[in-house]
Structure 1
Amino acid sequence: MGSLIWDEENKWVGKQPWWKDATFYQVYPASFKDSNGDGWGDLPGLISEIDYLSDLGVDVVWVSPIFESPQKDMGYDVSDYQKIYAPYGTIEDVDTLLVECHKRGLKVILDLVVNHTSIEHEWFKSSRSSKDDPKRDWYIWKPARYDENGVRHPPTNWRGYFAGPTWTWDEHTQEYYLHLYAPDQPDLNWDNDDCREAIYENTMRFWLDRGVDGFRIDTVNKYSKRRDFVDAPITDPTSPDQPAPEMWCNGPRIHEFIHEMYRKVLGPYNAVSVGELSLTPHPSQVIPYVSAAAKELDMVFEFSMIRLGNGNGFGAKYIYQPFPLSTLKAVTHKWQSFIEGTDAWATAFCENHDNGRSVNRFGDASTPEWWLKSSKTIAVWQATLTGTLFLYQGQEIGMTNMPASWGIEEYKDIESNNFYAEAVESGDEKRIQATMHGLQLMGRDHARIPFQWDDSPNAGFTSAGAKPWMRVHDDYRDINAAKQTKDPGSILNFYKRALKMRKQHRDVFVFGSFKLLDPTDESVFAYVKESPAPVNGQEGAKRKAVVLLNMSQDERLGLDVCQALGCAPDEIRLALDTTAQSGAGLKGGRPTLAGWESRVYVNFSV
């Protein structure tokens, strides 16, 4: 009988980089913990809760943007990469964060936003000052087009991510500048050699020299634009602005740029990197970014799964499209298996700062009972997936979307407000209602409400007399970290067990292959995980696990576990169960699963 614990020499999968079996935890600092009562989360607040993160069992803290910024898009509009936005704290606070995390064996990565800057950045101020300025070419400027009546129009008909055109007219220099997002976020011109070198020096080496361990790299596949700047096909006749991701995603020089970033910065510093890879739905497009031989990125976020329910990603993004469990299964399988037989790597995640809460989208928050059970099932799902695991703050306590009773006035995000305003401007009442419904499920604001620490006023996020920058959830007295810490049956304590199991059986869950079972079943999500190499050289002797997720309220009969694992019942152990029966053996070949119950069975005969 072989040990179920991966041996210290990593002999089953070979020596692997530390980040592959690490669990990353994303902190949205404005909403995590406020230390000074101004209603805005800050670095000292984060530092005060490092033990909470360490106790949870994560390995890396990813801090969303904290640089100097006018905050038109919550820090994704940087005006100075070497200063900290004052409400967050100081550079010295970052130094303290690094020391305290490293002391506990945790690493820290920062959010790198270099597709664009703020209009307040000195680079852009120089660029727009004159057509002859040395930094003019650091951004993308184009002359106007004029129709037969002499009316001025933008250089192309491209629609931006936050609604409206991607071009803004600059009266001073009489040209348009490109911005894929808000007009306050002009795109940098990566085709300019001096601009790229400034990015590497000012935004990356500066922080790596201070001890940062790497970066989550924002919008990583948008740096290379097509240079012909032609109109996109008209796919939305109701709008003058047309979706055009083919003009700027995965452009002609993108792999040259990312490889250069690796060669000049990421590689020499041994910095971990995870890129945001949007609108890249084919594995053949993704693998070149994360192939070890390519020397570009360690891993990327591919969004097919987390975007389930979205409309077309542009005008109808927030018109919700219901999907069956079989679709979730198929998408999960696709992005779990795409790296098999390659030197590429995957990520696992179901929440981040740009999406609604997972329990509302993939679970069942209709009652406290189903909220509890489905949140644990989501934990099982995530903890058993191949690749590097990413958790988002509040996911580990089952934080939910904002109540449906809250009106649009509680939505602070630029994207939410722009899409809603666009619907109102259409005058179509059905579209207005559908957009609001979609925002209630998928809006970015849900992930950004204050973290629920305890049942004191303002959920312990800030002092009792303060006004939080976003409203605290109505349910914070029932859902909070302090309450769950004391409850052995809580979601928080279940996540701790799930993460320990993932580490203990990392050869199966982190590095193992993924085989989907019964893809058409619309209630039970079942799959087999298998270690990549035989145990102790025994031919055909690989560790396996079966994961059974009942993603419905009804009692369901699971599949034949013995058959799936290829062994007898007395060779199978229940490694994790949402009803706290872990450790029991298999009783009968086909277990009965209660509503939203999930189980993980492992074969310990090898």
Structure 2
Amino acid sequence: MGSNFFHHPNGWVGTTPWWKDAVFYQVYPASFKDSNGDGWGDIPGLISKIDYLHQLGVDVVWLSPMFESPQKDMGYDISDYQAVYARYGTLEDVDQLIEACHSRGMKLILDLVVNHTSDEHPWFKESRSSKTNPKRDWYIWKPPRYDSDGNRMPPTNWRGYFAGSTWTWDEQTQEYYLNLYGPFQPDLNWENAECRAAIYEVAMRFWLDRGIDGFRIDTVNKYSKRTDFPDAPVTCPGVPDQPAPEMWCNGPRIHEFIHEMQAQVLAPYKAVSVGELSNTPLPKQVLPYVSAAARELDMVFEFSMIRLGTGNLFHGKYMYTPFPLSVLKRHVATWQTFIEGTDGWHTVFCENHDNGRAVSRFGDDSTPELWEASAKTIALWQATLTGTLFLYQGQEIGMRNMPASWGVEEYKDVESLGFYNEAVESGDEKRVQAILHGLRILARDHSRVPFQWDDSPNAGFTGEGVTPWMRVHDQYRELNAANQLGDPESVLGFYRKALGLRKEHRDIFVHGAFKLLAPQDESLFMYVKESGEQVGLGADGNRKKALVVMNFTSRVQRCPAISGALGCRKGDERLLVSTLRSGLARGRVEELRPWEGRVYLNFQP
């Protein structure tokens, strides 16, 4: 692991892997910036905005899939790991992006999508050509079953993520192949050592040799399946396909496979790794992946918090379920305290390309005033949590969900349309309306609306008169980066400030211990962060502490006694930052305005 040596101005000394203190920023390339007027974002467009990211405080750019692909799942269906999809640019553009990042002291990681390929990948074309092809076993093939009437049936009753069976019939070879996602995304067979070796060489070393710094690893815990292929228990009566994540998540050989990937590729290149770890809700399940002693992954994304509001992941994912603040706080507390006393590490995030916008889900975007206030408080929340911070494009300007007035025709995502069409085919109008309601809050499409750069036509994402691949948000003239760049108290200005404070007080905010206060309070979100290092606070010997107090409602709330929460004498606390605009009358310190957040320190550095 690459490490940097740090010397804190108050004597905090130590070594730590560089990625623990870094701010990562995810770019969804189709929607970030179009440089050539074809309505599709591209790598040269990203390069043109590198200084914007650098000035924000970003250390690492994570670029979502830009590989050659039929684009049936926005690049998560790869047909050539070593080529760039033409609308994104060229290999030379990637080289220039690497240089643009490195020359500014930033790093670049790519998405590694190796649970499955596109059905147009040459490996799969060979695999399906005949049962005797050398690559037949690079994918997972099974003969059909038959019911008592002689009707052909899939090998198991497993339901996939995009609705329907996980098995697709291949007429030519008269067998089914496994696809956990779409039929166009056949699963690779990680049991085959030659297949794994090819993945390491073709999909990983190729890019590391070009100079990238690591990977966000897609579906990292799904490579090892149950090889006896039993049916899943019937938990959704009346439908043929049943939820079965226990058949492919955290399977029998998964740690062997990840350890091998680390030993053969990641470690020799000192490449950073962050894995997408779904359906793994218990800390004891997660720790083996991120324990430093286990030598597997540096960190993972655990999804309990960001999945709040979703229904049953397989049949009712978009049946929205409201949740109280206390549940959100419980999930945050579980994962904030997860690493204490262990050699593991954690990630901090509330947005990505697979979820609705945070300000529309966890905040309040009903009025301009509440939108700005809650977007800033979400920024404060994220910037003060322990772990490596990940931002998603547009989060830093408070981008909202698509307007509720938009029809289903504006939804482009294969998953959104799969669940919607399944509801339509059921003939149950109540279910159709419930799915539409859920999509308006949770759909992956919300995060894929083009970035709002300015108030020019198409929000500056692409040129005037061009039809972008996805509709630009109706409110782009009011909500855009240009409007906020000149205003240090805008959402963007506050993100810049919060990220700076996070690094200045890294011993508290990046590495500090977390203690949740008032866990059952449904209005205030409060916690204490405590430095793990003695920093010389004087006779009382207290450690450096911060109190984060946030009003997660649209009503005025009473602020608790600050000194008591910090464990210091009254008057010894210091307000480090507030989300309020300086021009607003603050009112009484005992009151928190709607969606106001503050951080207090018990020590003046």
Residues 605/368 of structure 1: CA separation in 2 closer, same or farther (3 Å cut) = closer
**CA apart distance, 1:576:** 1.1
Residue 512 (structure 2) aligns with: 512
2:205 is equivalent to residue 201 of structure 1: no
Equivalent residue pairs, number: 598
Inter-CA distance 587–321: structure 2 relative to 1 (3 Å threshold): closer
> Unmatched 5+ residue regions in structure 2?
1-5
CA distances 1:26-45 after superposition (whole Å, capped 9, x unpaired): 00000000000000000000
Q: Please list, as runs of the form range in 1=range in 2, the aligned pairs for 1:95-244 lying within 5 A after superposition.
A: 95-244=95-244
Map of 2:572 onto structure 1: 571
Q: What is the aligned partner in structure 1 of residue 546 from structure 2?
A: 545
Letter in 1 for 2:376: K
Paired position in structure 2 for 1:595: 594
Cα distance in 1 between the residues matched to 2:59 and 2:295:
24
Report whether the alignment pairs 1:523 with 2:547. Answer: no
Distance 1:292 1:558 in 2: 40
Partner of 2:571, secondary structure, is helix
Q: Equivalents in 2 of 1:200, 1:380: separation in Å? A: 39
In the TM superposition, residue 13 of structure 1 has moved relative to its aligned partner by 7.0
Gap change, CA 1:525 and 1:201, over 3 Å in 2:
same
Match of 1:75 in 2: 75
Kindly provide the amino acid, as one letter, of the partner of residue 578 in structure 2.
Answer: D
SS in 2 for 1:514: strand
CA distance in 2, matches of 1:559, 1:10: 29
The CA deviation at 1:21 is 0.8
CA distance in 2, matches of 1:182, 1:587: 55
Q: How far apart are residue 605 of structure 1 and its match?
A: 5.3
In structure 1, what is the equivalent of residue 471 of structure 2?
471
Letter in 2 for 1:399: M
In structure 2, distance between residues paired with 1:457 and 1:133 = 53
Contact 2:537 2:543 in 1 (8 A): no
Q: Choose 352-361 or 480-489, whichever is displaced more.
A: 480-489
TM-score, normalising length from structure 1? 0.97
Counterparts of 1:371-390 in structure 2, within 5 Å, are 371-390=371-390
Distance 2:478 2:490 in 1: 11
| Per-residue deviation, 1:587 | 11
Matches within 5 A, 1:420-435: 420-435=420-435
**How many Å separate the matches in 1 of 2:91 and 2:10?**
38
Aligned pairs for 1:429-444 (under 5 A) are 429-444=429-444
Give the RMSD, CA atoms, in angstroms: 1.7
Contact kept, 8 Å, 2:10 with 2:535, in 1: the verdict is no
Whole-angstrom CA distance in 1 between matches of 2:596 and 2:64 = 33
Cα distance in 2 for partners of 1:600, 1:385 equals 12
**Distance in 2 (alpha carbons) for counterparts of 1:559 and 1:537:** 24
Partners of 2:489 and 2:167 lie apart in 1 by 53
- In 1, the alpha carbon distance for the partners of 2:461 and 2:7 equals 41
Deviation at 1:555, TM superposition (A): 0.9
| Aligned partners of 1:325 and 1:522 also within 8 Å | yes
Q: Which amino acid aligns with 2:197?
A: E
1:341 and 2:344 equivalent? no
DSSP 3-state at the match of 1:209: helix
**Equivalent pair of 1:275/1:299 in contact (CA under 8 Å):** yes
What corresponds to 2:3 in structure 1? none
Structure 1 residue identity aligned to 2:576:
A
AA aligned to 1:158 is W
Q: CA deviation at 1:535?
A: 1.7
How big is the shift at 1:314?
Answer: 0.9
| Deviation by residue 1:400-459 (Cα, 9 ceiling, x = unmatched) | 000000010000000000000011111111111000000000000000010000000000
Q: Deviations over 1:544-596 (max 9, x none)?
A: 000001011111112221011111243221111001469x9x999x7321111
> One-letter code of the match for 1:592?
E
Partner SS for 2:574: strand
Aligned residues of 1:177 and 1:186 also touching (Cα < 8 A): yes
Alignment of 1:51-62 (within 5 A): 51-62=51-62
Question: For the residues of structure 1 that align with 2:215 and 2:71, how far apart are their CA atoms?
Answer: 20
Aligned-pair identity (%):
70
SS at match of 1:322: coil
CA distance in 2 between partners of 1:367 and 1:379 (Å) = 18
Tell me how far apart the structure 1 counterparts of residues 101 and 8 of structure 2 sit (CA, whole Å). Answer: 24
Shift of 1:463: 0.5
CA distance in 2, matches of 1:366, 1:600: 25
Structure 1 residues 529-538 or 68-77, which shifts more? 529-538
Shift of 1:489: 2.0
Could you say what secondary structure the match of 1:335 adopts? helix
Letter in 1 for 2:262: Y
Q: Secondary structure at the match of 2:16?
A: coil
CA distance in 1, matches of 2:10, 2:403: 46
TM norm structure 2:
0.97
**Are 1:561 and 2:558 an aligned pair?**
no
Distance in 2 of aligned mates of 1:9 and 1:598: 27
Tell me, in whole angstroms, the C-alpha distance in 2 between the residues paired with 1:226 and 1:184.
22
**In 2, are the aligned partners of 1:24 and 1:62 still within 8 Å (CA)?**
yes
What is the match of residue 3 of structure 1? Answer: none
Q: CA deviation at 1:540?
A: 4.3
CA contact (8 A) 1:13 1:507 kept: no
